[in-house]
Amino acid sequence: MTSQRLKILQELKKRKDHPTAEMIYREVSKDLPSITLATVYRNLNLLAELGQIQRFEINKEYHFDAHNENHQHLVCECCGFIDDIEEKKITDYALKNMIKKDFQVSKVNITYYGLCKKCKEKGEK
Amino acid sequence: MTSQRLKILQELKKRKDHPTAEMIYREVSKDLPSITLATVYRNLNLLAELGQIQRFEINKEYHFDAHNENHQHLVCECCGFIDDIEEKKITDYALKNMIKKDFQVSKVNITYYGLCKKCKEKGEK
DNA sequence: CTTTGTGCAAACGGTTTGCAACCTA
DNA sequence: TAGGTTGCAAACCGTTTGCACAAAG
């Protein structure tokens, strides 16, 4: 566990948005000026493989999330904001429905695309 | 409607896998040798915007699907095979649970990652 | 004729990789 | 000191774009 890896993990844990590697990099650089984007990627990918964080892709970019509970995402197609929703029931329901299929599920990804409250109000004016 | 666009759409409709632009390009090239990957992308993206086909991303690649019914995907993490599942109930359930939220849903993406039958059997031997 | 689409080639952008130097256990 | 990790720069690869020409309506 190097200082870089620790810092990256701490940074991710303290955020509730769903940063990309680039976003993490910008923040971490403030404390570790010599760190590289490549290092950030390597560590985030490693942590994701170890199951310590989540990685998911939206619009051809990887986003990361230290929040490991079973949850889903709302993605605003207007402003790009990504929100969490804690509807365990949805995932449970989805998983339950898979039991009969001949497919061994290891992960379910549920993403809702649409308009967040702000953008909806803005658009309706 | 050019011959290129028509051919691309026909090719996509006749397949039940979930090809990438590259895969479509390889097939369509056989009939239209001078067609370009760029043209394939432009048309697939256009058709997706018009809602005539679906576009979704898996492992940093866009996949396309002429199958427009409400359905979900199974992605085998071992061989990459993508299968359809027709569990409308899952999407309906997921959507119903969003009504109370302050988010206007336009699209739900549900993807299951795991092991397909073949890979599961192979791995168990 | 005007608009829209095409082929070509080059650019783009996020991500990964090879390598030598550097930590760190 | 041995093995994993870093910084750097270059490569990668799927996708997009600018442009001049061609086709469509």
Closest Cα in chain B to A116: B103
With beta carbons under 8 A apart, name residues in chain A contacting B117.
Answer: 102-103
Amino acid at B101: K
Q: What is the pLDDT of residues A71-107, one digit of tens each?
A: 899 999 989 999 998 878 888 888 887 766 788 888 8
Could you tell me the pTM of the whole model?
0.93
What are the CA-CA distances from residue A36 to residues A22, A29, A39, A80, A98 (Å)?
10, 8, 5, 25, 42
Cβ-based neighbours of A109, under 8 Å, separated by 6 or more: A56, B109, B110, B111, B112, B113
Q: Where do the H-state alpha helices sit in chain A?
A: 3-14, 21-31, 37-49, 88-96, 117-124
Q: Protein B117 CA to nucleic acid D6 C1', in Å? A: 41
Tell if the CB–CB gap between A108 and B111 is shorter than 8 Å. yes
Task: Choose from B56, B103, B105, B115 for mutation: most chain A CBs within 10 A.
Answer: B103
Q: Protein A42 CA to nucleic acid D11 C1', in Å? A: 17
Q: Which of B74, B89, B103 sits opposite A117 (nearest CB)?
A: B103
Q: What is the pLDDT of residues B46-95, one digit of tens each?
A: 999 999 999 999 999 999 999 988 889 999 998 999 999 987 888 888 88
Contacts 24+ apart (CB under 8 A), A121-125: A123/A78
Count the neighbouring beta carbons within 10 Å of the beta carbon of residue B89: 11
**pLDDT reported for residue A87:** 78
Q: What is the pLDDT of residues B93-120, one digit of tens each?
A: 888 877 667 888 888 899 999 999 899 8
Q: Under an 8 Å CB criterion, which residues of B touch A?
A: 57, 59-60, 74, 76-77, 83, 85, 87, 89-90, 93-94, 97-98, 101-117, 120
Closest CA to A108 of B85, B88, B74: B74
- The torsion region of residue B8 among left (phi > 0), alpha (psi -120 to 50) and beta comes to alpha
Rounded Cα distance between A81 and B35, Å, is: 38
**Per-chain mean pLDDT for chain A:** 91
